[in-house]
Amino acid sequence: MRAPEGSFASTKDPTSRKYFLAGPRRAFQHLCHIRSVRVAVIGAAGLVARATLLDLLSSHNDVIALDLKRPSLDVEYLKCDLNDPPQVASAVRGCDWVINCAQYYLNIKAMEACLIAGTNYTDLGGLFWMTNNQLSLNQKFERERLLAILGMGAEPGISNIAAARLFESRGLPESIRIRNGWKNLSSEGRINWSLDTQMDEMTMPAPIWENGAYTSVNPLSLSEEVNFREPVGSVRTYITIHSELATFPTSFEGVQKVDWMEGGSGFEDATLLAKLGFGDEKEIFGVSPRKYLAELLRSKGLIGYEKSEPKEWESVKVAFEFGRDERKSAELEIVTPPVPVWGVDATEFGAGVPSSIAVQLNPKGDGVLPPEKVIDPVRFLSELEKRGFRIFT
């Protein structure tokens, strides 16, 4: 699947198609090359992991799937529980990489298993607060000469590398805006990623980086209408907690403001459920509202796409702004399609594929690092395009 002609601006600007996909590699030139790898995927029976597994397998990598239940795909499988890091370590020992697609609450335990096994690690994100906890393991990974890449999904992940590419081509901005929107072309609403994470985003304070310090605001308290490329189109986005805010202020040291907003089909329905208390975990009459909601959705067959065709598209737009010098302002937008033949929509495809690309690029380094510090943005964006992602400047 290739992006159609015209996806990139046809100019001689340093952010043009030719520059973005064939430009100089700079510091990343000697770090990455595509190769087959032995990869363990944790949380392999989940919605996003399906895309991760299929991308790894389609590239002829050696893959082992770990979860409490067997995934639906024909892949080597071991039953493992992340609450038992030594057990997981035994299963992943000898692998080049672990891709952790499990619920982010368990990220630290997955990293502990990798430290025991001597295996490199990546995950889909830690929703700011967990990412900060994970960064505290940097010295342990450095000591073991292992690499842990935090947040290698769509957002965070694609968003981080888009920012790295803009920084490489345009320099340090005054502010960075990250906007995420999606549109379901079907009238059938479904849950296509972790319900726990969605409810956390709608109930936890949202960080903003401004003037060298963090502040926080109530979730959903700020909003902005954003025009994404079609078929996503115009979307009302809202401020929520997100992982990019944990690393951008140090990765792009000197940036004055960083904020994040998201929205799309079904988002406002989910916010209503959160406001009504279905995001709460505290039991009422012996029942957790959040757990009840999850079981209700599962009983209605509204989680995943077992019997329906995925038709949701997604876009992430990263904008660099340079204060009064509007001529230098730049943005990079990546539009993600659904892949019906894989049974995944854009959210699942976009979150699941980047970690597969990253481990095959064979990044080098020690310690706990975000994607923008270790992944070659030119190679990565090129690999996205090969898989049907559309990239615009």
Q: Output the pLDDT for position 281.
A: 82
Query: What is the rounded average pLDDT for all residues in the chain?
Result: 87
Can you identify the CATH homologous superfamily of domain 158-346? Dihydrodipicolinate Reductase; domain 2 (3.30.360.10)
Residue 306 neighbours by CB under 8 Å, 6+ apart: 343
Query: pLDDT tens for residues 66-94?
Result: 999 999 999 999 999 999 999 999 999 99
How far apart are alpha carbons 39 and 94 in whole angstroms? 9
Q: Output the pLDDT for position 295.
A: 78
How far apart are alpha carbons 33 and 214 in whole angstroms? 37
Q: Beta strand pairing status for 312-321 and 175-184?
A: antiparallel
Q: Output the pLDDT for position 186.
A: 81
Whether pLDDT at 375 is above 50:
yes
Give 29-153+349-375's CATH code, choosing from 3.40.50.720, 1.10.15.40, 3.20.20.140, 1.10.630.10. 3.40.50.720
Report the number of secondary-structure helices (H) and strands (E) in the chain.
14, 16
Whether pLDDT at 10 is above 70:
no
Whether pLDDT at 17 is above 70:
no
Q: Output the pLDDT for position 262.
A: 97
> Could you state, in order of their start, the residue ranges of all structural domains in the chain?
29-153+349-375, 158-346
Task: Look up the pTM and report it.
Answer: 0.87
**In 3D, which of 31, 47, 15 has the Cα closest to residue 345?**
47
> Residue 14 phi/psi, 5° resolution?
-65, -10
Q: Where are the alpha helices (DSSP H) in the chain?
A: 17-22, 47-58, 85-92, 107-117, 129-135, 138-143, 158-170, 195-203, 244-251, 267-273, 289-299, 346-360, 371-374, 377-386
Q: Output the pLDDT for position 132.
A: 97
